[in-house]
Amino acid sequence: MKKGSVKEVEKDTGGMRSEYDFTSGVRGKHSKAFRQGYTVKIHQPDGTVVVQRFEPDKSAVVLEADVRKYFPNSEAVNSALRSLIALIPGKRKDTVKKSRIADKGRSAR
């Protein structure tokens, strides 16, 4: 009997091994603290410690789990929001056209 390769097993289980146990895990437990920024300490072989502070991107938007089910990626979110913006009367429609032009320029890179 031929055994399945590691790649086949990972594909079937979504990359998770059977020894991983997340039954007592809490989704999003540290997300609030993470959004406030965090510090990483890197211990060097010579005994020194390098401390780096990371701040979240101010333009980042975090979706709640129930919303995330409907929007799998940034493109889906942007498309939905542009549809809503188009419903707002006034000058905002110009903004939608400009942002689409900017997005096309980014995707071409």
Tens digit of each residue's pLDDT (9 = 90 or more) over 21-77 = 888 988 888 878 888 888 999 999 999 999 999 988 888 888 888 998 999 888 999
- pLDDT on residue 53: 93
- pLDDT on residue 82: 93
Cα–Cα dist 48/42, whole Å: 8
Please write the tens of the pLDDT for every residue from 9-18. Answer: 445 667 788 8
Q: Which two structure tokens, joined as six digits, stand for 70?
A: 């409907």
Q: Is the pLDDT of residue 7 over 60?
A: no
Domain range annotation of the chain: 29-107
Angle at which helices 74-87 and 92-107 cross, to 10°: 160
